Copies of this chain bind each other. A is one copy, B any other.
Amino acid sequence: MILSALLTSVGINVALCLVFFVSYSILRNRPSNAELYLPRLVANGKLEEEDEVGRGGLLSCFRWVKRAWQPTEDELLSISGLDAVVFMRIFIFGLRVFRFAVIVGIFILLPFNYMGNQLNIDFTDLPNKSLETFSISNVDDGSNRLWIHFSAIYIFTAVVCYLLYYEYDYIASKRIAYFYSSKPRPSQFTILVRSIPASPDRSFSESVETFFSEYYPSTYLSHAVVRRTNKLKGLINDADKAYKKLVHLKSKKDSEQSSKRTCFMGLFRKKVDLLDHYEKKLEDIEGNEVPAAFVSFKTRLSAAVAAHLQQGVKPTKWLTEQAPDPQDVYWPFFSASFVKIWICNIAVIFACISITILFLVPVLLVQGLTHLDQLEILLPFLTGVLKVKIISQVITGYLPSLILDSFLSLVPPVMIVLSSIQGYIALSQIEKSACIKVLWFTIWNIFFANVLSGTALYRFDVLFEPKRIPELLAVAVPAQASFFIAYVVTSGWTKTFSSELFRLKRLIWRHFKGNLCCKYDHETKVPSNPYHSEIPRILFFSLLGITYFFLAPLILPFLLIYYCFGYIIYRNQLLNVYEPKFETGGKFWPVVHDATIFSLILMHIIAVGIFGLKKVPLASSLTVPLPIITLIFNSYCRRRFLPSFKGYPAECLINKDRVDISDPVISSFYRKLESAYKDPSMKPVRYSEAGESSSNSSSSTSPLLRGADNY
C-alpha cells in the first residue's frame, strides 16, 4: 500500500468519525433518544438532572465529553463497580504504553528507517511512496543502525513489564479494598456443591442437609437444591396451554353435556387423561432434582473453607466452588455431573478448533482483496475496474477490514454459546471464558492467518517446524503492516464511534421498528458491557502495537489516538449506557496481563528472525534471552498476584466476618440468604430485596407456577 492509499483510508474514516461524533452529540440530548443513549439514567430515574444541564447552546452539545472525563476512578467504582474500573485500566495501560512507544518509535526509529536504502526507492514523490519506506524493511542489511532497534526492544520490554507489574499490583490492592468496602453479598457466604452422591434412601436435599450440618454444625445456614428448570420451563408452557385448553373444554363440555354425552365420551376421556398427565408431571418435579445445591454459611470464612478443601473422600463427589451472586447464576444449562462437564469441555475444545479452521475462508477472501494482483489474475474481467485509482484504493484500504470485521462480529456470540455448554455456573465465568476464546481466536485468525496466508504461500505446516517460525514471521509480519494500519483506523476508530458510541445498529433497528410496527417497547432495556467482545478487540490492538513497535512505527500514533478516543467513549458508555450485570472483582485483568506478555514474546520472536534476516546475527542471538526473561517475569507475576484473583485471603475474610457480627443488619441478611438462590423460573416475584438487580429473570406468573414455589 502506498502512502496516498493510507491517507485516503484515514480521510474516509476521520470523516465518518466526525459525522458520528456530531450526530451523537446532537441526537443524545433529544428526549426521544434518551432510551437509546442514556438507558441507565432513564432506568435509574436520574435523567432529569442530567437533562437540565444538557439543554443549552450548540456548544453545550459537546459537554458530554467533559462529563465523561470528569468523574474520578472512585466515582466510577461506586457507579459501575470494579469490573468497569478494571476495564478502563486497560485504556490507561494502553495509553501509557503507547505514549512511550510513540516517542521512541516516531522520533527515533522512524527517521532511521526512512534514511535506509534497502528498498531502493527514490526520494522524490512522497504520496506514492510505499509505506514500507517507514518500516524496518528499509534499513540496510547488516547496518549498525539495527542496534538502535535492538536497544529499543529491550527498553520497551522493560517499560511494558514495569507497567504490567504496577497495574497488577494496583488492581490487586483495589480488589481487596473493594472487598472490605462491600456490603454482605450472598455469593460471599455461599458455595455451590456439585456431584452430590446419589443415595437410594434419601433425596439430594436430605443428603446435603445431613452432610453439612454434620461437618459444619456451627456455621451451616441453609441450602437450596438445584432443579432441572429447562424441563420445568417446558412444563410451564405446556401446562399453561393445557390450562387454557381445559377451561375451554370444560365450558364446551358443560354446554354439550346434554346432547352428545355418550358420543364424545372417548374424546373427553382423552382430555381427562391429559389433565392427569400434567398433574403427575408437575408432581414429578420434586423428584427432578439435580445433584447440585447452593449451600449457605453464616460466615465468609466457612464458605471459603468449604470451597477450598476437598469435602468428600472421592474427589469427584461433593465438588465445591464459591457460588456466584444470585443474579449472576446461569440457570438454563445446569450440568451437574463431573463426567458430563469433562466431556463437554473436550467437545468444546474440538468445536473451537473447527471454528478456527472454518474461519480461514473469509480470511483468505480478505487477503485476496489486499493482494489485488492475485485477484486480477483470478478474475480478469475486473482489471478495468481496478485500474480506477479511487476504487482500487477503497478496495485495498477499506473493504478488507470491513469484511473481516463483519465476520468477526459473529464470533463472540458463538463463543458465548460454547462457553455456556462448558458447565460454568455463572454468567461472569461464561463471559470470561468466552473472552479468552475470542481473544485467541482473534489473534490466530486475524493476526496469524492474515500474516501467514498473505505472504508465506499458505504455509500452515510451518507450525511443525518450530525452528523456522522466527524467520518466517520476520518475512511475513512486516509485509502486513499497511493492512493492519488500515485495520486500526477502520475497525478501531470508526467502529468504536459508530457501533459503540452512536449505537448505529440499534438506532436503525429502533427507527425501523418504530415506523413499521407502530409500537414502542416502553420498558427501557439497560444493556451490560459485553466484555467478551470488547476486551479481545482492545487487546488485539495492543498486540498490533507491541509487535509492530519496531517493525513499522507508523502504526503507533493511530493506536494512541484509538486509545484516547476509547478512553472517553467507553467512560461515557459505562456511566450512561451499561449497567453491570455481575461483579467479578476485577477477574478480567489476568487475561489482559497474559495477552500483553504474549504480545511481548511474539515481538521478541519476530525480532530474532528480523535480525537474522538483516544479517546482524549477534543482535539476533542477544535477543534470545529476552523472551526467557519475560517468561520468568510472568511466572513471578503469576505467583505474586494471581492467587489474589482466585479468592480472598483468610485475613480479609475473618476481619470482614468480625465487622459483620456487630452489624444488626446481618440477621435480616441471613433470612434473605436462605431464599436467595432459587431458580428465577421457580419464583413468582423477582429477587430484588438484597439490593441486587436481576435484569434477566423473566417474570411469567402462571397460576401453576405460583404453586411451584411452595414446596
Min CB–CB distance A493 → chain B (angstroms): 39
Q: Which of B312, B316, B346, B648 is close to A651, meaning CB atoms less than 8 Å apart? A: B312
Distance (Å) between the CB of A628 and the closest chain B CB?
A: 10
Q: In chain A, residues 419-469, which have Cβ atoms closer than 8 Å to a Cβ of chain B? A: 461, 464-467
Nearest B residue to A309 via CB reads B650
Q: Which residues of B contact A313 (CB under 8 A)?
A: 176, 644, 649, 651-652
* Of the residues B310, B636, B640, contact of A647 by C-beta under 8 Å: B310
Q: Judge if A62 is at the interface, Cβ distance under 8 Å.
A: no
Count class of interface residues, chain A: 35 or more
Q: Does A643 contact B (CB under 8 A)?
A: yes
Contact of A632 among B346, B464, B648 (CB under 8 A): B346
| Chain B residues with CB below 8 A from A371, complex form | none
Please give the distance in Å from A518's CB to the nearest CB on chain B: 56
Please tell me if the beta carbons of A649 and B311 are within 8 angstroms of each other in the complex: yes
CB distance from A211 to the nearest CB of B (A): 8
Residue of B nearest to A217 (CB): B654
Kindly state whether residue A250 has any CB partner on chain B within 8 Å: no
Given A176-B313, A315-B640, A315-B641, A306-B465 contact (CB < 8 Å): no
Q: Which of A309, A346, A642 has the most chain B CB within a 10 Å cutoff?
A: A309
Distance (Å) between the CB of A339 and the closest chain B CB? 8
Choice from B310, B311, B636, B650 contacting A310 with Cβ under 8 Å: B650
Asked if residues B310 and A639 are in contact (CB atoms below 8 Å), the reply is no
In the complex with contacts A342-B636, A342-B639, A467-B465, A311-B215 CB distance below 8 A = no
- Main SS of chain A's interface residues? helix
Q: What's the nearest-Cβ distance from chain B to residue A658, in Å?
A: 10
A338 within 8 Å of B by Cβ?
Answer: yes
In the complex, the answer to whether B650 meets A306 with C-beta atoms within 8 Å is yes
Distance, CA A311 to CA B310, complexed state (A): 18
Given the known A-B contacts A342-B639, A466-B466, are A308 and B308 also in contact in the complex, defined by CB atoms under 8 Å?
A: yes
Set of chain B residues within 8 Å of A338, measured between Cβ atoms = 639
User: Distance (Å) between the CB of A227 and the closest chain B CB?
Assistant: 26
Give bound CA distance, A315 to B639, whole Å. 7
Residues of B within 8 A of A635 (CB): 342
> In this complex, what residue of B is CB-closest to A628?
B346
- Tell me whether A399 is interfacial, beta carbon within 8 Å: no
| Contact flag A310-B467 (CB < 8 Å), given A215-B654, A632-B346, A640-B315 | no
Are A651 and B311 within 8 A (Cβ)? yes
Q: Report Cα–Cα, A580/B342, bound state, in Å.
A: 39
- Determine the residue in chain B with the shortest Cβ distance to A339: B636
Complex Cα distance A319/B193, Å? Answer: 27
Question: CB within 8 Å of B: which of A671-687?
Answer: none
A310 in contact with B215 given A464-B465, A465-B467 (CB within 8 Å): no
A639 to B176, CA, bound (A): 31
Contacts of A466 in B (CB 8 A): 464-466
**A304 interface residue (CB < 8 Å to B):** yes
Could you tell me if A310 and B346 are in contact, using CB atoms closer than 8 angstroms? no
Give CA–CA (A312, B176) in the complex, Å: 11
A302-347 residues at the B interface, CB under 8 angstroms: 304-306, 308-313, 315-316, 318, 338, 342, 346
In whole Å, how far is A657's beta carbon from the nearest beta carbon of chain B? 10
Alpha-carbon distance A644/B306, docked complex (angstroms): 16
Interchain CB contact (< 8 A) of A642 among B308, B312, B315, B642? B315
Q: How far is the CB of A635 from chain B (nearest CB, A)?
A: 8
Give the chain B neighbours of A312 by CB distance below 8 A.
649, 651
CB 8 Å contact bits of A463-481 with B (1 = contact, 0 = none) = 0111100000000000000
CB within 8 Å of B: which A27-59 residues: none
Beyond A306-B650, A461-B467, 5 additional contacts (C-beta under 8 Å) are: A312-B651, A313-B644, A315-B640, A338-B639, A342-B636
- A residues sitting closer than 8 Å to B (CB atoms) are 176, 215, 304-306, 308-313, 315-316, 318, 338, 342, 346, 461, 464-467, 632, 635-636, 639-644, 647-654
Q: 14 A-B Cβ contacts within 8 A?
A: A215-B654, A305-B650, A309-B649, A311-B649, A311-B651, A312-B649, A312-B651, A313-B644, A315-B639, A315-B641, A315-B642, A315-B643, A342-B639, A464-B465
